[in-house]
Amino acid sequence: MNQSVKRYGVIGIALLLTFSAGVFTGCSKDKKASSAADVSVKENLPDGLKTAHTVNATGTIEVAFSPKGGGTELVVKAIKEAKKSVQVQAYSFTSSDIAQALVNAKKSGVDVKVILDKSQESEKYTSATFLANAGIPVKIDHDFAIAHNKIMIIDGINVVTGSFNFTKAAEEKNTENVLLMRGNKALADLYVQNWQWRWSGTEDYKAQ
């Protein structure tokens, strides 16, 4: 290879490396700027939730699995145990049994409030309208790609959670799990704090 070819070959490689570095640096900056712009103040976690928490074990835990392992029955039982309040966060909510249990709790004097993902505004079989028509305050969380929680807090001390959406499909077609954790106030307090943060940042459901 003659000196001219070598010289231009080295220059070409240098230019390619310089260009590549600029492109990747620019992409990185753009991505960071975009990510920062996507997060509004109201989406920031409360200070008390910005780290993992260790909570001492106390109370009891009841678990059910699906398909057809009693997940819906366990959620309904938890609602029936409510004496004061039921605070709900749900991604998908189409279970008529669970919706009816919440309405029954409302009728018995329990303070029931529900937060749903924005998909429930257009979902064909959502329970949102049924709950709202029964006088239960329902709010929609628009702030995130998915409001993916499946949570109920009962009387500020018992917590329902797990992968189990409050749907017929979760009970009959999917492999899911649902936990009912009773009597752990410290744990429930964390879930309540998270629930209250989203309740204050959501909008009232408007039936379509």
**150 is annotated as an active-site residue:** yes
Q: And the tokens for 186?
A: 């410290």
Helices (H) then strands (E): counts for the chain: 6, 8
Distance from C-alpha of 130 to C-alpha of 115, rounded to nearest angstrom? 14
**155 is annotated as an active-site residue:** yes
DSSP 8-state class, residue 44 = S
Q: Residue 148: which of 93, 74, 66 has the closest Cα?
A: 93
Q: 143, 155, 168, 189: which is the annotated catalytic residue?
A: 155
> What is each CA distance from 159 to 27, 37, 120, 186, in whole angstroms?
43, 34, 23, 11
CB of 159 closer than 8 Å to CB of 104: no
Q: 148, 173, 185, 206: which is the annotated catalytic residue?
A: 148
- Point out the residues that are catalytic: 148, 150, 155
